[in-house]
Amino acid sequence: MKLTFDWIDWIKTNIDAGCLPEDLINKMIQNGFSFDLACAVVTHIAQDKQSLTKQDASKILEKFSLNTKTTSTEQILPKEISNQIHIQQQQIKVAMKLDDPKVVLFHDVLTAQECDEIILLSQEKMQRSRVVDPHTGQHVLNPNRTSEGTYFKVCENELFTRVDHRLAELMNVPLEHGEGCQILKYGIGGEYRPHFDYFDPNKKGTAETLARSGQRISTLIMYLNDVEEGGATYFPELGIHVMPVKGSAVYFEYYNTETKTLDPRSLHAGMPVVKGEKWIMTKWVRDQQYST
Ligand SMILES: O=C(O)CCC(=O)C(=O)O
Ligand SMILES: [Fe+2]
């Protein structure tokens, strides 16, 4: 069970009303919290007799979310209680959030200038996109993915040092768990048919990457330009279309590190571009340190 702002509020209200800490701890355990976490949070709040500001509650949430962060993908994005996330100088806006499965739409993850700079740097080194063949593990051309692409190693230059650190903080994962950002460009008719970002553990070709860097757990797709028509990222199982807006991004999770289960509801597609072109940047995150 995940600690939320509402739970902190509930504990404080009941402590102030004279309830016994033991009763609150029991209630939390009944709701799926671990004994250790329930004890730690209730004791912490009971010790402070002051009134609790929203800022205090956020601090408590951060402190105790960190303790449990790596045990479950539910712990990703602990700062989502707010409609804004302040990272570096960037004021990232939380525009929409689906709890289960977790899908979050962000605005202003990248500045317009960063988007333009990334496109410019990528233009020089574009290649037709390849996918990992699940049978052989080789990178092969695939008709399901009619786009051109390139990638930048983690912290490859000054721009990506800044951006990769920002994305690690936003996705609440260690920098080293992120793959290098991948850039894709789709022309008219270009698309990426429905697929999963996680690796099928039953396929021979994925064994090597799974053994080396672990499973992918989450994705952030960032839109580097406004597409004139078409080009939405579509989640058919959820009925969600994310329209490309320059600087915005869609985040989604699909691997529960506690139960080791993959979530097929994360099926998604890049819909065909009808007018204009579409540029995106994707960050995939592993459950272990990523190495090539
Ligand atoms: O083009 C899109 O909107 C989807 C891209 C995608 O699925 C990916 O990069 O994994
Ligand atoms: Fe994808």
Cβ–Cβ under 8 Å, residues 152 and 166: no
- ipTM for the predicted complex comes to 0.99
Mean pLDDT of the chain, nearest integer: 87
Nearest to 64 by CA among 143, 146, 7, 124: 7
Per-residue model confidence (pLDDT) at position 72: 37
Per-residue model confidence (pLDDT) at position 67: 41
- CATH 2.60.120.620 occupies which residues in the chain? 85-286
Ligand 2 midpoint to CA 20 (Å):
49
Nearest atom in ligand 1 to 231's CA: 3
Per-residue model confidence (pLDDT) at position 68: 38
Residues contacting ligand 1 via CB (< 6 Å): 192, 197, 221, 233, 268, 270, 280, 282
Residues 21-71 have pLDDT tens digits of 888 887 887 787 776 678 678 888 887 767 888 778 887 877 776 443 333
Ligand 2 midpoint to CA 268 (Å):
6
The fold for domain 85-286 equals Jelly Rolls (2.60.120)
Ligand 1 midpoint to CA 192 (Å):
6
Nearest CA to ligand 1 atom 2: 270
Nearest atom in ligand 1 to 147's CA: 1
- Say what the pTM is: 0.72
Residues 244-281 have pLDDT tens digits of 999 999 999 999 888 889 999 999 999 999 999 999 99
Angle (CA) 87-219-132 rounded to 5° is 140
Calpha distance 74→134 (Å, rounded): 28
